[in-house]
Structure 1
Amino acid sequence: MIPASDNCPLCSGQAVADYHRDQRRAYLQCSACQLVFVPQRFHLADDLEKAEYDLHENDPQDLGYRSFLNRLAQPLLEKLQPDSAGLDFGSGPGPCLSLILEEQGHSVALYDLYYANHPELLESQYDFITATEVVEHLARPLFELNRLWGMLRPGGHLAIMTKLVASPDKFTHWHYKSDPTHISFFSVATFAYLGRRLGSAPQFIGADVIIFQK
């Protein structure tokens, strides 16, 4: 029997198997929801995790960074009603997506565990919630995604950006797994599973944008 700490953090499944292993940590895959995840014993402590985030250089004035975020912003903007109110969950040290959306007339609140820790914002309701490069950091992805889903008004949108697992062979050489703060890796099948739980089929846009409508 596997230790309880190795149960799948998305569906609590116990049918997990080795997916990959490198010099630093192990990666398991759940047979039920297909999530690839790093067991809890390999997770960074909070102070070490924040130290990694502090190294990120996300400049809102960087045109390349704005172009990157526009891969999510533009399809989301096409779905929003005028003057929508949203939350950028995991906004990071240099919020940029919120600026892009606010330039189009929407209002965006910012929440981040380390850089904008305003838990009262998690008690409100929103027309949309964005989570760009966030879900791969979640130790409790089901808890967090269920919470975000509950914060959406009917008809609202949950817009996610994350790189998707393709295959074990590609995972071996995948740069995305090299970030020590990346611990939950989703695939098309994983988001399909999540959609069944949420009662909303995921819309896949490009290589790394996923939008659910409530």
Structure 2
Amino acid sequence: MSQKCPLCPSMTQTLFHQDKRRCYFRCEHCYLVFADPATRLSPEQEKAIYQQHENSPHDEGYRTFLNRVVEPLLARIPPAQQGLDFGCGPGPTLSLMLEDKGHSVALYDPFFAPNDAVLKSVYDFVTCTEAIEHFYCPGKEWGQLLRLVKPGGWLALMTKLVKDADAFSRWHYKNDPTHVSFFSRETFCFLADRDGLDVDFVGNDVILLRKKTA
């Protein structure tokens, strides 16, 4: 390929997987796997798919799912912190769960809560659950996430991680047309080393990163 990696941005990528839907490439510098940009949906198509999601704060199964990131985050932050849920979706739930524990949480979503004013502040923690895989320009959006976190603060992510090409070929996660950026442990370790973060992997799909103090 002759284009830049959307995350790092190296010019060295290799074909990682190809199926009937699209091609996927891997950056040999940061190890991000990304779908062919030519196959991206329009914003209207993308939003229409998100509107089909039935996540609700009243769904106990969804709350149990989100607890995988809530519980380890709560174990690491002091009481009464200020946070931001980045990519909250059409049915914000994570914010309510954290507010129930005494924290204050602002909301941002480019489709469902496009309040740019909240992006001008900095926070003790930022959550981004099942959203980073949707980033068309992950390098830009990663930088934005880091700017939103105070020194010493936490970035709490939830996303499925790439293992290897063989597992990827059978992976249902790649078949969602809105999933375009696929991270691995190696990718997050690369970002942590480059950007001065401590990284902790919790289970199979939760990544907690702490911004180091000066």
* Greater mean deviation of Cα atoms: 196-205 or 160-169: 196-205
Alignment counterpart, residue 104 of structure 1, candidates 101, 105, 109: 101
Counterpart-to-counterpart distance in 1, 2:158 and 2:194: 19
* Structure 1 stretches of at least 4 aligned residues deviating more than 6 Å after TM superposition: none
- What is the aligned-residue identity percentage? 50
Counterpart-to-counterpart distance in 1, 2:135 and 2:165: 21
Q: Which runs of 5+ in 1 are unaligned?
A: none
The residue number in structure 2 matching 1:25 is: 22
Counterpart-to-counterpart distance in 2, 1:36 and 1:189: 11
Counterpart-to-counterpart distance in 1, 2:152 and 2:98: 18
The residue number in structure 2 matching 1:184 is: 181
Cα offsets for 1:108-139 (capped at 9, x unmatched): 00000000000111000100000000110001
Cα offsets for 1:63-122 (capped at 9, x unmatched): 110000000000001111111000000000001100110000000000000000001110
Counterpart-to-counterpart distance in 2, 1:194 and 1:57: 32
The residue number in structure 1 matching 2:195 is: 198
Q: State yes or no: 1:89 paired with 2:86.
A: yes
Once the two structures are TM-superposed, the CA of residue 54 in structure 1 deviates from its matched residue by 0.7
Once the two structures are TM-superposed, the CA of residue 201 in structure 1 deviates from its matched residue by 2.7
Once the two structures are TM-superposed, the CA of residue 39 in structure 1 deviates from its matched residue by 2.1
Q: How does 1:1-214 map to 2 (within 5 A)?
A: 2-4=1-3, 7-214=4-211
Structure 2 residue matching 1:55: 3-state secondary structure: coil
- TM (normalized to structure 1)? 0.97
Q: Which runs of 5+ in 2 are unaligned?
A: none
Q: Which amino acid aligns with 2:175?
A: S
**Superposition RMSD on alpha carbons, in Å?**
0.8
Counterpart-to-counterpart distance in 1, 2:198 and 2:106: 26
Cα offsets for 1:148-183 (capped at 9, x unmatched): 111211211000000000111111110100100000
Once the two structures are TM-superposed, the CA of residue 24 in structure 1 deviates from its matched residue by 1.3
Counterpart-to-counterpart distance in 2, 1:146 and 1:132: 17
Structure 2 residue matching 1:201: 3-state secondary structure: strand
Counterpart-to-counterpart distance in 2, 1:167 and 1:49: 27
Counterpart-to-counterpart distance in 1, 2:193 and 2:38: 29
Counterpart-to-counterpart distance in 1, 2:92 and 2:207: 20
Structure 2 residue matching 1:202: 3-state secondary structure: strand
Counterpart-to-counterpart distance in 1, 2:72 and 2:210: 13
- TM (normalized to structure 2)? 0.97
